[in-house]
Structure formats: structure tokens, C-alpha cells
Amino acid sequence: MAPAFADTLNRLPKMKRNKISSYSDFKSVVDDSNVMDWNNNYYGRFYSYMDDQDDAFKQAKPFLILAESKVQSSDYRKVYDGNWYK
């Protein structure tokens, strides 16, 4: 079972690239929680260079999505255009 699981994990990125070939594909296979996570991960990595975690959070906070209900269409577009989901 372990080799089959490993094969699946190795193939997922390629499958994802093949499945998502347009913005409409992207919108059809992801949801608000995905967009929120990818957005927040991007800004978390962007500000990770800062030594002080509190300062890093203060810098990133205006860009973070802190609730799924706050995800907007523009956030989907930003994540898709930025390839933050890859």
C-alpha cells in the first residue's frame, strides 16, 4: 500500500497541472478554503525573512484572509494569476 500511496502523491502535481488549464477550470475545482490557504501561505512566505514574527505578522496582516467568508472573486484571480496554487 505504501508504494501505491507514494505513486499517487508523486502524480498529484502533474494531474493538477493537467486538470487546471484555465481560470474557469481553476474556479471549478477549488473553493474558498483553498484560496484562503494559498493566499495566506504566499504572504507568510513573503514575510518569513523577518526575524521578528510579530513584526512579520503585522506586515502581512493587511494581505491575509482571516475567514473563508471574506474570500472574494478578486482573491481567486490573484491566486490563479500568481500561480500560488502550484
Q: Determine if the pTM surpasses 0.85.
A: no
pLDDT at 11 over 70: no
Structural domain includes residue 86: no
Domain limits for position 43: 21-81
State how many domains the chain has. Answer: 1
Q: Count CA atoms within 13 Å of residue 28 on its CB side.
A: 8
Task: Tell me the backbone φ, ψ of residue 18, rounded to 5 degrees.
Answer: -70, -35
Determine, yes or no, domain membership for 32: yes
| pLDDT band for position 2 (cuts 50, 70, 90) | confident
| Rg, C-alpha atoms of the chain | 15
For 12, how many CA atoms within 13 A lie in the half-sphere containing its CB? 8
pLDDT digits (tens, 9 = 90+) for 46-61: 998 999 999 999 999 9
Residue 31 is assigned to a structural domain of this protein: yes
